[in-house]
A and B are shown apart, each in its own frame.
Chain A
């Protein structure tokens, strides 16, 4: 079946603009995660959704970041008033449930460049 998909694959924006990044998880997966990878760094956890429950936002770096998950499926990560330090690859992952042994499958990522 189809894997995790993300759009757009690349996004270039000007400092101060808002951006929306989209993630389509694997069908039937209840858990969805957003991570980001800055240059030379490992993946940094941002936010987690489990089914229709309220998300765990503990990893969001500032209140300019927010995310939604509609109908327990598609998720959108929104960054308001983008800054240059927001430039990174934003990765989405989904898993069957939230158990630690449930493999997280990653999408190809969205490369965000803030000029």
Chain B
């Protein structure tokens, strides 16, 4: 059973608008979450993270929100740019040895 779920396989947004990518998790013991961005034929690149002691973390155009009671996190990109077009993976650091547990990803397309 999937412990980290990204229910939207794709999202299309107009340049300049907000992109909101969602992620749900099932294990309340998870306490550290990350977003990675992946371009074709490249490895995932770390984007932003959040600890469970916080409910928001911001880095430039990227903000991650965490709602522990709902076991839900989201990534906001404002304003969206065509170069943001990629697959975004949500991950929880909850493996027994610090391994990441990933969702299946959401493919974001930002239209000029």
CB-CB contacts of A27-52 with B at 8 A, as 1s and 0s? 00001010100001111110010100
Which parts of B76-104 form the interface with A (CB within 8 Å)? Answer: 89, 91, 93, 95-104
CB-CB contacts of A63-81 with B at 8 A, as 1s and 0s? 0000000000000000000
Cα–Cα, bound, A59→B101 (Å): 11
In the complex the two chains form, is B97's CB within 8 Å of A100's CB? no
Cα–Cα, bound, A102→B93 (Å): 10
Q: Which of A41, A104, A108 contacts B100 (CB 8 A)?
A: A104
In the complex the two chains form, is B95's CB within 8 Å of A45's CB? yes
Cα–Cα, bound, A50→B95 (Å): 14
Could you say which residues of chain A place their CB within 8 Å of the CB of B95?
45, 48
Could you say which residues of chain A place their CB within 8 Å of the CB of B93?
100
Could you say which residues of chain B place their CB within 8 Å of the CB of A98?
97-98
A48 with B98: in contact, given A91-B44, A104-B46 (CB under 8 Å)?
yes
B interface, CB within 8 angstroms of A: 4, 6, 31-32, 34, 36, 41-46, 49, 51, 89, 91, 93, 95-105
List 12 other contacts, CB 8 Å, given A40-B104, A56-B96, A100-B31: A33-B99, A33-B100, A41-B104, A42-B105, A45-B95, A45-B101, A48-B95, A48-B97, A100-B93, A101-B32, A106-B44, A108-B43
Cβ contacts A to B, 21 pairs, < 8 Å? A4-B43, A35-B99, A35-B102, A42-B102, A42-B103, A42-B104, A42-B105, A45-B99, A48-B95, A50-B97, A56-B96, A59-B99, A95-B98, A101-B32, A102-B98, A103-B46, A103-B49, A104-B46, A104-B100, A106-B36, A106-B45
A interface, CB within 8 angstroms of B: 4, 31, 33, 35, 40-45, 48, 50, 56, 58-59, 91, 93, 95, 98-109
